Structure 1
Amino acid sequence: MNSSVVSIAPMMDWTDKHCRYFYRLLSKDVHLYTEMITSNAILRGDKNRLLDFNASENPLTLQLGGSDPKEMAECALVAKEWGYDEVNINVGCPSDRVQSGSFGACLMKKPDLVASCVESMMDKCDIPVTVKSRIGIDDMESYDQLSDFISLICNKGCQHFIVHARKAWLQGLSPKENRTIPPLNYEWVYQLKKDFPQLQITINGGIESCSDIKTHLNYVDGVMLGRAAYHNPFLLREINTSIFKNEDSQISREIFLEEYIDYINIQLKIGVPMRSMTRHVLGMYHGESNAKLFRRLLSGKTVEIDHLNEWLNFKKNTVTNIDSNE
């Protein structure tokens, strides 16, 4: 099954390389995305810091924020040279930062510019160029406007669209509110697949379970999860079993924590702060009886590797006591 059938959304300040490494331990099958990185940062900043990733993270997409066709093309070439599998254009983020830079969701009103970016990027390199958008912004009220947006851009070669099934309000709502307040309209995304059967259409927004994923896959090609996966990363194991049909998915959480501890120890030696890695595992016991205890252990004033080892010993002793009582 194609890895892009289920993907994890690019999430600012969350899906950094440590988070993605942890996700790849949990699932070899889901498709991963970087946080959004601006074209200006890539061309003028520290590429090693911004673009470095572990080879195990592939398949991996670099998400770009930008609107200058020439700069975006240069970044697409950098993405290929750096080993990314594809590059994605952010046409969905509604934050003040992206609006001031004239990219993100405000580009939905400039489909010609997005099309020019796609064309320039595809001329520059041969890795896929994809677009992640909303179903509309502000006064875009009709499905026809969304359809026209997709049509213009796909004519320049883009074959994969990831569509967040909510509008974005660039004025009056915060980025957080834009993730929940505008109503979901899955039907428009389903209709895109009907009207553009040759395209790969991935749906995003409000998806929280394997049941949700299966429902959407009746109508579109792929499903992208965001915060549901971050707050409950072990959901990736359920996805492996239920969606990708892998039989080895019923593995204890402790196995993955042990593997992640090995990674943490390596990163600590090169100066990576402990908390920048452990923050991504806080939801590992979501829904389990000891979830609060686990979060508390990793949320104190200081967090050390011994805290994770202490947790593993606690879990092993708990299992041993249960076995002896039986």
Structure 2
Amino acid sequence: MATYKRVVLASRPQGHVVPQNFRLEEVPVPALKEGELLVRNHYLSLDPYMRMRMEDVKSYAAPQAIGDTMVGGTVGEVVESKNPKFAAGDKVRGMFGWSEMGVSQGGGLVRLDTTDVPLSAYLGAVGMPGMTAWYGLTQINQPKEGETVVVSAASGAVGSVVGQLAKLRGCRAVGIAGGKEKCDYVVNELGFDACVDYKAGNLKENLAQATPDGIDGLFENVGGEIFDACLARMNPFGRVALCGMIAGYDGDPMPVYNMRYLLTMRLTLRGFIVSEHMDLWPQGLKELRELVAGGKLKFRESVAQGLEAAPEAFIGMLKGKNFGKQLVKLI
């Protein structure tokens, strides 16, 4: 294989992301230097945070540079190695981005055991999304047995794990998702106690019915109207893990009118970036891996085929078209 494909950021979005913001390139496979290894990526992870990285604004991470390979998590196989810590055939997780191949000196790469956990799961339930769910729930929501935990985007890669972990801790888990199919999956397959369809047009009323005892822990992925409705249902001293605001990532307005509940209900609200808490990853990933391997943590994947499909799959994910973890299969 003399060349491989990658997708670079061609321009910054003006409002909603469009395919023209990306460019597909073919580049030569580099010759390895001592200490380097070459990875053939099998799967690429598409995640909402990538949308924020496309903007040239102040954030927790530097903006994606124009002309650079789009950022993203990958799993794949070492095909050549001049690094004594890795051998050809090793399965690894890294951050090679929207690219079929990648070269590394080994830093940041994690060797993976696929004996009882599929390779793709290391980008989902046993990867960054799973750890995001685990951290936000255990460290910020801090649920106690019998409490009610609500999670928006409940059928997605993060939200689906939050609810299942909450159930395992003896909580009432309530999801919010878009459409009957997703809500049925959240309740019937994932085991949530209830799921509110925000597209049904009765968000406030349906949320009140699903949370008769109020909300103790809110895991917020969406923002806007959904966040606003949940704030009005919070119990005194409730905890809000602010993970994402996907409703506003494309520049859409996200009015929130119920901020007074932060005061009147004495709420704790904390935003977090899971990559800033690497000290807890071994603990969280151990639990997640054991649960997936034992069949106690379920997950679903939406898989686009081929790197060329990544831009449209990413745009679709931002609009909620994916069901579960959005991946791109590269091989």
TM-score normalized with structure 2 length: 0.28
Higher relative strand content: 2
Higher relative contact order (CA closer than 8 Å, sequence separation 6+): 2
The structure where helix makes up a greater share of residues is 1
TM-score, normalization by structure 1: 0.28
